[in-house]
Structure 1
Amino acid sequence: MADSKAIDVVDLDFGYAKLHGLDPVPVLQGVNLTLARGSRCLLIGANGAGKSTLLQILAGKRLTRSNARVLGNEVFFNTPQGVTYLGTEWATNPVVRSDLEVSHFLDSVGGYRYKERRDKLLDILDVDLSWHMHQVSDGERRRVQIVSGLMAPWDLLLLDEVTVDLDVLVRSRLLDWLAEETTTRGATVLYATHIFDGLDQWPTHLCHLQLGSTLPPSPMPWPLPASLAADLLPEEVLTRMDDPNRRGSRLLEVALHWLVVDRRERVDREIAESGREKRGAQEANISSEAFYRKYDYSH
């Protein structure tokens, strides 16, 4: 019997090794995330919070001996079939920027084996098989990546910001299809994004990753039950969520609040560790005005 858990991460720690035998730099600490098959979970956190690292670990791309399992198997030493990872680094590969026709590229990665799913994705993502990869826009190249990555059936999909280049229509059609995959096949999606409008009805769960750690409960159901929302969110955020004239979706209001809290926590840590905030304009050594004047060659 298949494991009912698509993702089962308990107290995951991870750090990048430093040279000369020094201690590793911690990136993830005490990460917890358990998702049942069929879930659609948004991974929310600021830039640098560790979202990409967590997705890469779950895809079996980084060695860790912490307790992390996907589809019932260890993520690195026994990575199961059926795990698909799509990240932004694909677009920097020189091969996918060469004079390569899309039809030939898709055949080279097995498109002929999955004709029905391939053709469905070609329609959803509005891809022209006669495109040449070196001539298309970043958004069109991203569409080809998604077709190539999703045409083989998958059980767990790990998405790292790959929809950022898509136009609103194509993104909406893709997300509708992903939701259909989770309901009809019991597949699971963990999706890191900073674009929240239009997503209110899409996720079944949220996961808040702050400075490398998940904040409990992880994951949390979406929409948030009233009692949980009252515990997690201040009154002004709850009021904005119910305001029909709010600036965006209910989900956007939650994400904005979390990011404000995350920034405040980061600044407090920096001040505690070094006595100052590290980001932004600095008065130490040279002011920003003097710096730019130094490199002003107009006079």
Structure 2
Amino acid sequence: MAVSDETPRTPALDVRDLSFSYGGAPALQEVDLRIAVGEFVVLLGLNGAGKTTLFSLVTRLYDTRHGHIAVEGHDLHRQATHAHACMGVVFQQPTLDLDLTVKQNLLYHGALHGMTRRMAYERAMEQLGRMGMQDSLQRRVRQLSGGQRRRVEIARGLLHHPRLLLLDEPTVGLDMASRRALVSHVHELCASQGVAVLWATHLIDEVYADDRVVVLDQGRVKADGHVADIVAAQGSETIGAAFDRLVGKETTP
């Protein structure tokens, strides 16, 4: 029998048996999640489902006590520096300095990652160019629209060429047109740059028909699969109806 030369690639994100509690109240319970390089995954859950807690553990804002997390094969405890170098993050709350220019925000981030000023500038122009925002380089962040600010945050998250991009409710506060444009843009980034994406949201309309979806409810993974598979498994017609069934939101006639 011929032996395949192909070996499984290391997941961009590997979460196993992850649990976490706040003062004895469980927030995550035995969560397993693996994301391949270049894969777009929607983490779908109601507010309070545990999405932000998961992000806080992966980014080490909280310390993991029960379970395992690795980024590009780097254990988050034993190889934290290498793991963090492989990830970019866009948090739910905006974190850009409003009084600095786009350029100043991006160059500062580059310096934190050990880049020379020239390298950070070149990468800033590269990422802004992908978004059609080169002309905003010298503008102060407070002069930008909400959607433009989010795009700058994504550019910042990608500045050091991470293999994993985490976005926690990134469309909060944006209008419908800006939300749709941002979702589309990140899908395109995933396809063109091969970066793995974990997109956390509670909004069904941000899910594309061919997305892989992980449904998180009360700290537990209730479903993990592509939209069509989850819809079929729940005997529903849409991902919205399947989600409602999974989280117990169905209304009785």
TM-score (ref. length: structure 1): 0.66
Does the Cα contact within 8 Å between 2:204 and 2:239 map onto a contact in 1?
yes
Whole-angstrom CA distance in 2 between matches of 1:4 and 1:102 = 34
Match of 2:219 in 1: 212
How far did 1:187 drift?
2.0
Question: Is the CA contact (8 Å cut-off) linking 2:12 and 2:71 kept in structure 1?
Answer: yes
SS at match of 1:9: strand
Contact 1:164 1:195 in 2 (8 A): no
Describe the shift of the 1:8–1:101 C-alpha distance in structure 2 as closer, same or farther (beyond 3 A): closer
**Post-superposition offset of 1:208:** 1.1
Q: 1:205-284 maps to which residues of 2 (within 5 A)? A: 205-216=212-223, 219-224=224-229, 229-231=231-233, 233-234=234-235, 238=236, 241=237, 250-259=238-247, 261=248
Matched, 1:105 2:105: yes
Higher share of residues assigned strand: 2
CA distance in 2: counterparts of 1:29 and 1:4, whole angstroms:
24
2:166 equivalent in structure 1: 158
Task: Give the superposition deviation at 1:102.
Answer: 2.3
* 2:128 aligned with 1:119: yes
Distance in 1 (CA, whole Å) between partners of 2:186 and 2:158 is 10
Query: Which amino acid letter does the alignment assign opposite residue 91 of structure 2?
Result: G
Instruction: Tell me the secondary structure at the aligned position of residue 162 of structure 1.
Output: coil
Cα contact 1:61–1:76 (8 A) shared by 2: no
1:129 aligns with 2:137: yes
Residue in structure 2 matched with residue 187 of structure 1 by the alignment:
195
Q: 2:91 matched to 1:87?
A: yes
Alpha carbons of structure 1 residues 46 and 142: separation in structure 2 relative to 1, 3 Å: same
Could you tell me how far 1:28 is from its partner in structure 2? 0.8
Aligned length: 232
Name the CA shift for 1:62/1:76 in 2 (closer, same or farther; >3 Å).
Answer: farther
Q: Which secondary structure does the structure 1 equivalent of 2:139 belong to?
A: coil
Distance in 1 separating the partners of 2:191 and 2:127: 19
**Contact 1:206 / 1:222 at 8 angstroms: preserved in 2?**
yes
Change (3 A) 1:179 1:144: closer
TM-score, length-scaled by structure 2: 0.76
Per-residue Cα deviation, 1:10-54 (whole angstroms, up to 9, x for no partner): 2211123x4xxxxx4321111111222222111111111110111
In terms of Rg, which structure is larger? 1
- Cα distance, 1:170 vs structure 2: 4.5
Stretches of structure 1 lacking an aligned partner (at least 5 in a row): 19-23, 242-249, 265-299
Cα 1:54–1:198 change in 2 (3 A) is closer
